[in-house]
Structure 1
Amino acid sequence: MTAGLPEGPIVAFYGDDFTGSAATMEALTFAGLPSALFFAAPTAEQLARFPGLRGIGIAGIARSQTPAWMQTHLPPVYEALRETAAPIVHYKICSTFDSAPHVGSIGAAIDIGQGIFGNSWVPLVTAAPAIHRYQAFGNLFATVAGRGFRLDRHPTMSRHPVTPMHEADLGLHLAQQTARAIDVVDFVSMKTGQADAEFASRRAAGAEILSLDIVDQETLAEAGRLVWENREYCQFAVGSQGLEYALIAYFQKRGWIAPQAQAPITERVRQVVGVSGSCSPVTAQQLDWADANGFRTLPLDATKAVAADSWDAEIARAVTAALGVLSEGQSPILYTARGPDDPSAHVLRPAVEAAGVTMEEVNDRIGNGLGRILNATLRETGLHRGIIAGGDTSSHAALAMGVYALTAVAATVPGAALNKAHSDDPAHRDLELALKGGQMGQPDYFGRIRAGGQDIASTI
């Protein structure tokens, strides 16, 4: 049931990393709006393989790139999204606003997008209660183990190795990346019936980017209403998957789509293979759980990635180790760091500086290498379910897998579903991939993927 909505795609989006892109595709699909995520602008032939799409996504790597890179690579992507004629065109960012003036610049992405779409305003929707992200008076909060933190005091984001957050006010943070006027429609106006007046006032005062507070389901739907009812042709919008959650909440409130049914599950398997480039304490807890529940975690020496030859040797060693674990009936997860306090997380940068290479080059090499490890291990064993943890990691690792698109198969936790991988390679005909951002998932996440979203209690 989608009465009241226009025909064809409703949202076309580009994600600045792969995990967030997959989370957006998942949100739409499980709400009854079939979507596909492509790893490059899809060809007409590829699109024809997915009839009836209501969401069309392109996964990218802009979060780990410079504004100069964006100037070259984003315009053709934006043009491809514009050609879909979707009412909403979404530049998808991380729900923890990972960005800086020199890398992953959300401001640069907005400036480039406005040069193509030319809308009179840009909605900014970052919060998403389903994944424990909240925005109040323009400040972003995220929870860890049930405890809420302002983003600049968040135990991970305040210490992020690439884009540490020193400011929770998203307007102030974004103002370092763009000269466009930024303002807020706050949750108080939304909950007191004054959102339209506040919106009009902020716009009249010259705001070009309007950040929308979200603290609960009521304000989520109200944010979706503000975007949908004030949209212009091919409305360019920026935000996390919270934008899709907001639109869905509004569509459901209007009765245009049915309330979400129980999320789908799929078959459980005995073994999976995982790779992780995340330094998050959330992922560290998940690795600890995995070691106690039929997995075996294997450390990688990321300093080997400062040179191609030594990294190739480390990849070969890792594949051999993973195959050995599988032969013993366990599931291997290969990781570069076990949380932000892992000693390995503190030796990489000195090694990079000593080698005279850039951190960006090494990070790209690490991500690509993790994909090669996963690809080789799955091919050698014939297993068909893999896990990639880490937002920046997933972008490069997934590209190394020879896959051109993903569609959501089974829910595990919001924002980190199990996906069907689509490839022209016969060896990957049955491949399933889960892409998990560093902050996403409960401690038993790896078990949930192994169980296909089913109850993990009886999983080996």
Structure 2
Amino acid sequence: MVKSRRKWIGFYGDDFTGSTDAMEALTMNGVKTILFLHPPDESMLENERFREFQAIGIAGISRALTPREMESELYPAFRSLKKANVEICHYKTCSTFDSAPEVGSIGKAIEIGLHVFQNQRFSPLIVGVPTLKRYTVFGNHFATMEDITHRLDRHPIMSKHPMTPMDEADLRKHLSRQTTTEIESMNVLELSGSTIEIERILDSKLQENHNPKVMLFDVLTQEMLTKIGKLLINETQNNPQFAIGSSGVEYALTAAWKESGQYGLSEPQWPSLSPTAPLFVVSGSCSLVTEKQINYSLEHNFFGMKVDSSELINPETRAETCLKIIREATQQLEKGIDVVIYTALGPNDTSIESTKDHLVMTGGKSTDTSKLLGEQLGKISKEVIKNTNIKRVLVAGGDTSGYVTKNLEIIAMEMIKPITPGAPLCKTYSSNPIYDGLEITLKGGQMGSADFFVKVKSLT
């Protein structure tokens, strides 16, 4: 790809909701962004539908993969972005950074990224993002829930996450369980001065520590994030950068680009939307936030369908179970009734543990639940959409979003309207007219107010 067509930033999201979060951060700040569901080749990037986009993303599923599986997933993705000649390749993590050595290892992703992108002084690690009320202070990470800010290992949800519970708020210690890569840090005090002073401190740290591979940056305010963005831009003058972290990376870069005026960024213009009732909701999320959203929707005339997870993952019952769900959902949607299909109602739903126990008893692993449930929810969603020709869909849960969208023959997505930070409304691109032009929202477990489903339904 020639230099004149160089993309400013390319990112890989470790789940689909995180990927749309990164796309939103760029789009809201005037950077036209396209999100692919598979690593794009040069012919795809030069396709007339996509060649004018200024940033490219790849929506991934590495958060649900083992380290060995991550190698097969991430090497092609990172190499694709490198070939696209991006200035910065960003491995997009959740803003709560939840991960573990055996599944969704961010440490493993760092090692792969540093192997593909070499010849940089350091790889920036940025997890704080004030827009989402996520903060990093002296290396410890904090997240706000219902206006109360918790240290991550004391967060009422993330400390009890069913797959990757966060029992360590110190991000360097957390990563030390996943990688031996050297990690240095720049704390809030060191980032409080001018850009020149910060650069001097950074240079000193790099010399003293013999160029550590990763530099963790504290983030407390948007002003601090802008300063970090300037540092990143300076680093790209010599070599492409591999960065790790939340959408704080995108917010840092766009703030710095705006301040410099080098790209002439302007506010995006959103299209008017036609009413598209009924709304089809699919949820594989176990979070308390999603529980409240499901309950609110049921109180506002949504038709709820609680799925028996054990039957859905059992090879002997899954086909009949899927068929029943498809028939019932299709009938309700054809009547014009909004439908929400869900596998769990909050973190205390007894089906969560019983499904894991069933998997273990039948020779599987408890960590396989996301994959097995996600695949079946994806198949159900594909058939329901095909049967009803509905145009607006909401998927709740990061892993679930990945499996559902991959089943819908979607090539790429573009943000068309904001709803709540981190979960925008998107338009799909597909070679299959049934799934082309769908309006879809991918919502992470912690995203949105209690009335989020109703807001998505009424969006115009």
TM-score (normalizing by structure 2):
0.93
Task: Between 429-438 and 359-368, report the one with greater CA deviation.
Answer: 359-368
CA distance in 2, matches of 1:403, 1:259: 29
The corresponding residue for 2:250 is 244
Give the Å deviation of 1:263: 6.0
1:60 aligns with 2:56: no
Contact 2:416 2:426 in 1 (8 A): yes
Counterpart code for 1:190 = L
Query: Whole-Å Cα distance in 2 between the matches of residues 425 and 103 of structure 1?
Result: 33
2:454 alignment partner, SS class: helix
Q: Secondary structure at the match of 2:323?
A: helix
* Counterparts of 2:268 and 2:290, CA distance in 1: 29
Amino acid at match of 2:188: F
8 Å CA contact 1:108, 1:177 repeated in 2: yes
Please name the residue that 1:154 is paired with.
155
| Structure 2 runs not aligned, ≥5 long | none
| Bigger mean CA offset, 315-324 vs 174-183 | 315-324
Alignment of 1:175-324 (within 5 A): 175-193=176-194, 194-206=197-209, 207-231=212-236, 232-256=238-262, 257-258=264-265, 260=267, 266-324=273-331
Q: Matches of 2:395 and 2:402 in 1, distance apart?
A: 9
Identity of aligned residues (%): 36
* Structure 1 residues not aligned, in runs of 5+: 455-460
Q: Check if 1:388 corresponds to 2:395.
A: yes
Kindly provide the CA deviation profile for residues 253-285 of structure 1, in whole angstroms up to 9, marking residues without a partner as x: 223344646766633322110101111111111
Equivalent position of 1:89 in the other structure: 89
Distance in 2 between residues matched to 1:289 and 1:449, nearest whole Å: 13
Match of 1:126 in 2: 127
1:368 and 1:399 in contact (8 A); partners too: no
Shift of 1:7: 6.0
Q: CA deviation at 1:328?
A: 4.2
> Where has structure 1 moved over 4 Å in runs of 4 or more?
261-265
Q: What is the alpha-carbon root mean square deviation over aligned residues?
A: 1.9
The answer as to whether partners of 2:142 and 2:169 remain within 8 angstroms in 1 is: yes
CA contact (8 A) 1:306 1:357 kept: no
Asked if structure 2 preserves the Cα contact closer than 8 Å seen for 1:266 and 1:409, the reply is: no
Amino acid corresponding to residue 79 of structure 1 in structure 2? R
> Structure 1 residue 6: deviation in Å?
8.2
**Paired residue type of 1:44:** E
Which amino acid in the other structure matches residue 415 of structure 2? Answer: A
Match of 1:457 in 2: none
Aligned partner of 2:229: which letter? G
Structure 2 SS opposite 1:103: coil
Residue 414 of structure 1 deviates from its aligned partner by 1.5
CA distance in 1, matches of 2:52, 2:90: 19
Counterparts of 2:414 and 2:274, CA distance in 1: 16
> In structure 1, what is the Cα distance between the partners aligned to 2:273 and 2:375?
28
Measure the CA separation in 1 of the matches of 2:44 and 2:431: 11
1:310-350 superposed Cα distances (whole Å, 9 cap, x missing partner): 22222212112212332443211111111101222221111
CA distance 1:360–1:398, change in 2 (3 Å): farther
How far apart are residue 72 of structure 1 and its match?
A: 2.6
SS in structure 1 of the partner of residue 326 of structure 2:
helix
Q: What are the Cα deviations for residues 289-322 of structure 1, in whole angstroms up to 9, with x where unaligned?
A: 2112232222111112442332222221211221
Listed as ranges, the matches of 1:400-411 within 5 Å are 400-411=407-418
AA partner of residue 150 (structure 1)? R
Correspondences of 1:4-23 after superposition (within 5 Å):
8-23=6-21
- Greater mean alpha carbon deviation, residues 395-404 or residues 198-207: 198-207
Question: Secondary structure in 2 aligned to 1:187?
Answer: coil
SS of equivalent to 1:189? coil
TM-score, normalised relative to structure 1: 0.93
- Deviation readout 1:89-130 (Å, 9 max, x if unpaired): 111111111211111111111111111211331100111111
Q: Please give the alpha-carbon distance, in whole angstroms, between the structure 2 residues aligned to 1:309 and 1:142.
A: 42
Instruction: Return the alpha-carbon distance in structure 2 between the equivalents of residues 282 and 332 of structure 1.
Output: 18
Q: CA deviation at 1:413?
A: 0.9
8 Å contact kept, 2:334–2:388: no
The answer to whether the 8 A contact 1:151-1:167 is kept is yes
Matched residue type, 2:50: F
Q: 2:18, 2:187 → 1: CA distance?
A: 25
Q: After the TM superposition, which of the residue ranges 255-264 and 217-226 deviates more from structure 2?
A: 255-264
- 1:334-381 alpha-carbon deviations (Å, 9 max, x no partner): 111111012222211111111212234442121111122222112111
Distance 1:166 1:355 in 2: 29
Distance 1:222 1:263, change over 3 A: farther
The correspondence for 1:31, drawn from 7, 29, 32, is: 29
